[in-house]
Chains A and B, each alone.
Chain A
Amino acid sequence: MVSTWLWIQFTLFMLIMVGVSIYAARKTKTMEDFAISGASLGPYVLGLSLAATLFSAATFMGYPGYSYAWGFSNLWLYLAIFISAPLGFITIAKTVHKQNDFQNSLSLPDWLGDYYNSDFLRVGSGLIMLFNLFYIAAQFSAGAQIFQNMLGVNYLTGLIAIAVIVVGYVYVGGSYADVYTDAVQAVMMAVTGLIVFVSGIIFFGDGSITSTLKNVSDNLAQQDGKLLEVFNPDSNYYAFSAVIGLLIIQFSFSAQPQLFNKVLSLKRRRDLRKMIIVYIVAAAMCLFVLFGGLYARVAVPGLEAADLALLEYVAWGFPAFLAAFVAVVILAAALSTTDGLFVVMSTVFANDIFKKVLVKRNIIKVKEENVDKIALKISRIAVLGVGVVAALLVLNPPSFLADLMWVGISGVSAGTLGPIMYAVFGKKKASPRAAEGSMIIGMTAYLIIVFTGIESSPLAAGGWATLIGIISMFVLANIFKRPVEA
């Protein structure tokens, strides 16, 4: 029954995505259109897009799974995401947008390269973005597993289906397709968060929030006392220090290129406030889904795969059409994160490397009037290439991709947040050598922390490396003096 509903709703969802993409394709004529929607979008659609891009399939599968396994201590994750990510946007968005009046940059590596006048930084941070292949692969794999578990399609077919869908709409519609489809997906995700939260109040508290929380707490305490602890020793939040690391890495999401380019896409700077408020409201609603993991622990204890907690919970208590809707939303969450990553990765090849370095430095000779056309073509070919490589990475469903996904997120933050923060807070512009040094030190610090296993929480590991990147930027900026510009 669920699968019939799922087919119907999935088909409907796909029709909406196709419609939106066709509309977006008509608007995509230049490289600027492809990368940042011609810097012409409004705050509501971009605020929703921020939320849809930040929240991925991990939010709807992995995070309720954490609640299921670790109990109430997972509310640290809710708080960290809710507090830190908007703080990051509030800190950097205005400066970044203002500076782009002069720079007209099309991506995060492009912005850094232009601001510090360093092609090393542009290409280096562009190459760091390639770590996001793992992030895309993780989303592909999650989507394929939904197809497999809920629709009975085999994993490989599911994988091909999800890859073709995303590649298709980003190929034709670029950033416009990314943002418009995101807006639809964000609304679906926020509604689902709310539905899941309210469902527990109906199932476990007869309409009373306080009875629900009491009953859920009592049940979890009976199962395992650690599920009520503030710092559950089995969890990613085993101590206050781990929570601090988590807060830092969530803050640094503002330096993720797929979110950064949403700030560049905004037409009027005075709309930044509206954009951030829309994001905050959507985020609070999406994150309610974390309570689903707690409810699942009461309703269906003893699951082997905690990641499936939310799906098992909705299958346990929801009417078939609503259970199917939740599965479609998880697919939507995977798509809405992946499409943003596709846009930034193809911009790296087409704009940051081809247009801004190879053509500008005359390494490749192209007639000026043809540069933009060729760049747009390269970005589309890059979309295809990235799609194929990411799909190949997860031909077999891997068990460690959630951790690998953090390599992309953390590596990018560790390498780029220092130079961004200095652009915002530094008294004067730092030397390009300082920014390049911070990028190298931050990235290296992350690899050392991960491979030596000093920090057991993969999220906190990224936080510490990012902190090292930021500190080294402020130290190096005082050591290397900026060359006097002619």
Chain B
Amino acid sequence: MWINSMLTIWLSGMIFSVSLFTFLLWKFYGIEEE
């Protein structure tokens, strides 16, 4: 097996965080009028 427990956590964490950043940045940091 190429994947171990820690790698699974790491990969899941990366996918989760990228999704979270995308959501937060587009919800709260959309282009605003200046």
Contacts and interface: CB of A to CB of B under 8 A. Distances in A.
A280 B21 contact: yes
A210 B24 contact: no
Nearest to A243: B9
A90 B21 CA distance: 8
A156 interface: no
A276 B28 contact: no
Interface in A79-114: 79, 82-83, 86-87, 90, 94
Interface in B1-26: 1-7, 9-10, 13-14, 16-17, 20-21, 24-26
B2 A90 contact: no
Nearest to B6: A72
B4 to A, nearest CB: 5
Contacts of B9: 75, 79, 230
Nearest to A273: B29
Contact of B34 (A72, A78, A211, A270): A270
A319 B21 CA distance: 38
B7 A75 contact: yes
B33 to A, nearest CB: 8
Given A268-B34, A269-B32, A269-B34, A73 B7 contact: no
A90 B6 contact: no
Contacts of B25: 90, 273, 276-277
How large, as a class, is the contact surface on chain A?
20 to 34
A217 B2 contact: yes
A83 B29 contact: no
A471 interface: no
Interface in A193-233: 209-211, 213-214, 217, 228-230
A366 B16 CA distance: 55
B32 to A, nearest CB: 6
Interface residues of B, number: 24
Contacts of B3: 213
Nearest to A80: B13
Q: Is the interface of B mostly helix, strand, loop or mixed?
A: helix
Contacts of A86: 17, 21
B6 A211 contact: no
Interface string A342-366: 0000000000000000000000000
Given A79-B13, A90-B29, A270-B34, A230 B5 contact: yes
Interface in A51-94: 72-73, 75-76, 78-79, 82-83, 86-87, 90, 94
Given A86-B21, A90-B24, A230 B6 contact: yes
A269 B30 CA distance: 10
A273 B26 CA distance: 8
B2 A272 contact: no
Contact of A210 (B2, B30, B31, B32): B2
A276 B24 CA distance: 11
A156 to B, nearest CB: 41
B10 to A, nearest CB: 4
Interface string A216-254: 010000000000111000000000000000000000000
A228 B10 CA distance: 13
A119 to B, nearest CB: 32
25 contacts: A72-B4, A73-B6, A75-B7, A75-B10, A82-B14, A86-B17, A87-B20, A87-B24, A90-B24, A90-B25, A94-B28, A209-B2, A210-B2, A213-B2, A213-B3, A213-B7, A217-B2, A217-B4, A228-B5, A228-B6, A269-B34, A272-B29, A273-B26, A273-B29, A276-B21
